[in-house]
Amino acid sequence: MVVIGLDPHKANHMLAAVSPATGIVAGTHEAASSIEGMERALLWGRQFDAERVWAIEDCRHVSGRMERFLVARGETVVRVAPKLMAGVRRSARERGKSDVIDATAVARAAVREGVECLPAARLDEQALEIRLLLDYDDELVADRSDTQRRLRWHLHDLFGDLGIPLGGLDRSVWLDKFARKLSREPQTARVRIAREQIRDIKDETRRIRALVAELETLVGRMRRSCSRRSVAAR
């Protein structure tokens, strides 16, 4: 197991991986607070141990985004109150940037207090499944929207203003209408691309609908499970 201490800042975060058994720092890493930076930080943290806890100094105005990012990816996050690190910081003897010392202090304070005793955030297996599917649904919808935007331009260049209503390119009636119209045109590169885009949109729409149905089933199952636990607890 490894405990990864995180000293959060607005522009970047400093991380230190500490062994709970020895308190020795296995590595440090500085990451930008952007999505790309957080993704690199996650990859860095996963190299140490399959079992890991991310200990974050409890200053949610700058750490909240990182916490949500980690929890959404199945990681376990504990919050460390700043007062718990005062003694650890005073006893630190490492030379170097104070941010590194602070990140190490967060991890060591979590180890000292016991990670199981600190406020923790994690998704159970079912909740993580739903979160991953929701993220994938967002990706599919974004990809389809990009394809629809490109198709609109091709159709406009080919036929002028066709009066396509908002959301029209989500619907088979409009897609089939344009597919028939395009099939009667000379098969130029633009026409062939537009026909391929229509096929892609229809395929993506089917996948999105299937995913939504799966999500509705999972959410319903989770609600029934929560309801049963609530009744049992009374």
For the domain made up of 2-121, the CATH class stated in words is alpha beta
Report which listed range, 132-146, 191-205, 219-233, is most confident.
Answer: 191-205
The residue-averaged pLDDT of 195-208 equals: 95
Q: Which tens digit of pLDDT belongs to each residue from 113-146?
A: 888 888 777 766 677 777 788 888 999 999 999 9
Q: Of the candidates 166, 191, 168, which has an alpha carbon nearest to the alpha carbon of residue 179? A: 191
Higher pLDDT, 231 or 210: 210
pLDDT band with cut points at 50, 70 and 90 for residue 37 = very high
Higher pLDDT, 178 or 131: 178
Name the residue among 94, 120, 115, 116 with its Cα closest to residue 14: 94
- Mean pLDDT across 6-30: 90
Percent of residues, the chain, with pLDDT higher than 70 = 87
Q: What global pTM score does this model have? A: 0.57
Least Cα distance to 15 among 26, 23, 142, 195 occurs for 26
Question: Radius of gyration of the chain from Cα atoms?
Answer: 25
Calculate what percentage of the chain has a pLDDT beyond 90: 44
> What pLDDT is attached to residue 226?
57
Residue written as token pair 């691309």: 193
Q: How many Å from the N-terminal Cα to the C-terminal Cα in the chain?
A: 37
**In the chain, where the domains are located:** 2-121, 125-233
Residue 95: pLDDT band (50, 70, 90) is: very low
Per-residue pLDDT for 92 more than 90?
Answer: no
| Highest-scoring range by mean pLDDT, 49-53, 80-84, 118-122, 204-208 | 204-208
Task: Summarize the confidence of residues 93-107 as an average pLDDT.
Answer: 73
For residue 171, the tally of other CB atoms under 10 A from its CB is: 12
Of 33, 41, 36, the C-alpha closest to 62 is 33
Instruction: Tell me the pLDDT band of 231, cut-offs 50, 70 and 90.
Output: low
| DSSP at 164 | P
Q: Which residue has the higher pLDDT, 194 or 231?
A: 194
65-79 pLDDT tens trace:
888 888 888 888 898
Quick check: 177 pLDDT over 80?
yes
Q: Which helix (H) or strand (E) holds 68?
A: helix 60-72
CB 107 within 8 A of CB 24: no
